[in-house]
Structure 1
């Protein structure tokens, strides 16, 4: 089974990362909250400052008016008005200037230009005015400059805008860091889960110390993995029992048909013998699937390539053999025969009775390569590497042969790849490491007895 690439070599893109999405949502919410709170506080602050300014203006206007209403504090009439200062003016009932401070630069007797205005500029300075009755003198008009209030309002507004501009970047960095810390256990568990090979074992994931949502998720995944492992164990046990029950009668049937083929030339009997061989190899594939890849063993032998060719020619008649078959092979003969037989049977099935199936053997100092080509329609491009998964087939077979063949190639330290040949048809390439013998004495002994000398039973594939 093809294992997915680990997350260390194929990290999730930042724009698809849960950590980034959480940081982005955190940033947007923080910006909105800070904006609303800032606008509210700024509004209250400016209203308070405006109220204080208006109260100071009213107090000043009331104080000035009181001085004109009772200049000597005795309530007598006909007294001269007290001196005025600042932005102050006395306006009669007809709206003319009776008296004015020097800052206003107004002439006595002329119409008062700010009679109906509460906010206006004087010489570029923003002003706010208030009026109070001044008894027999008319109306007191008092103004105060608003430049300090305007500057405070502008400064507060700039501070709020600056906060709204800096907050998203700062919150995004903080949110990314917090999300990284909070999801560290989940990311580590994802890396470990990505390395789990169901064909070998279903290991549980380590749980974080904090019993939070991540702990609950990983605990649920562990329970699921335990159930999957139990189901796989039951399936393998059932499959092994079925194969065992089929193996005995198939062995007897195959032996009977083989003897019958030797006694008669009936083509129907020969065809039945080939079907028995097909069923026997299918049960072997099923047994291999039931045992699992870890339980596969190889018994190494040094054999002539011609011996392997003869076995394959009997198992898959009509195969064309090309290349140099006069050398020696270091392999498990039974396993390698099974792997190549599966490839040739699939090729024959795809090419049809009249098609061509070719097995080419080539050898280099470091590798031995078997190439199986057929004249069929080729492999479906949508399958890709899935062609080697169990029960996935592009030729109408059980879908087990290619999976078992790749496992056998891996146990020999080799590889099995699939593709389409340039001239059409499917092409499977099984590559094994070349034989590396020890000293010259071992080479001489093996050369004298090539077929009977085992290199080692159950040795590792590498």
Structure 2
């Protein structure tokens, strides 16, 4: 049993078992399915309409061909009909001149007072197509009533399809108001044309089915290409929200704990203010890193490439960094690269900040060496504990960092390098053993 109702504050309680709202990704996937289905249905309607038109045209074509042939036979046979002195129809010349057995030619006389009253004046002795006399008489009556040429699809007594053609004729002295004197009926074999027509129907049907399936597959692929940017944007959005939730949770909890401690009066107010300021600065850097990464990954932060003195930029980053008691040395050659100054400054700053934060033992000042060479390579070396091999391969992924870090700095630096067509790698400072980490940023030079 499903239960639904309202809460005390007027909110609606959803019924038990009701389907939850779809996620944005699920809605985009559903939209892709609908686009594919609409594409397939549109193609199916168009192909079916064209196929039906082709089948109908072919059906009319083979009937017209048979009718034209039989019309020529009946027109020639009408010239052989004569009338005696009493006005009676004489079919002797017709019988003597042509063989009316194949194609079967039947001459019917029509009662002037009653078009439905028709009698056989001449019939083939042994017709090659065994059509029931009732079929011939019915066709003659229809032509007499309509006073016009008619054609019908009928079958022989053994079920073979035939085409029955009727041609009214008139007495020599007949006026325009008088009906036909008789009707000439002929029959043609329709098995061959009908078989060809059925073959065409199967070909068109099979072709339409194959094309509909092909269009459905193409529509599915095209819709996938169409929704791919939306899915990528949703993925970036979900990644950004995950980053924010992951990294803001700890400083927010620290601020809450600090505020509760201050309210209880257990800590000196000056110390509370200092710790609050440090947390606020850390959260500011965190939010700035999150926004920078989101802009970079979404493409809203464009790469404005221009000639840039990498050595001067490295020296400026070191001068602006909060070095404190740490030791940072710069060995730079005059180097010009083609890059975005703001993004490269951000990447170099992140590499230097990572070295100052993790490139030393606890309680020992960091010793960092920044090197710039003419081939567009910037190296940041520290004297920390080094990197285990299993960590180095995933160091530039989100959240892969040491304690106290957001895990975004190296990820942003790696993205900046690849956005400029360069690379960012990490390796031990001393080959063959530990002794610090060596981050190598390579950027394209102006040469």
| TM-score after normalising by structure 1 | 0.39
| TM-score after normalising by structure 2 | 0.40
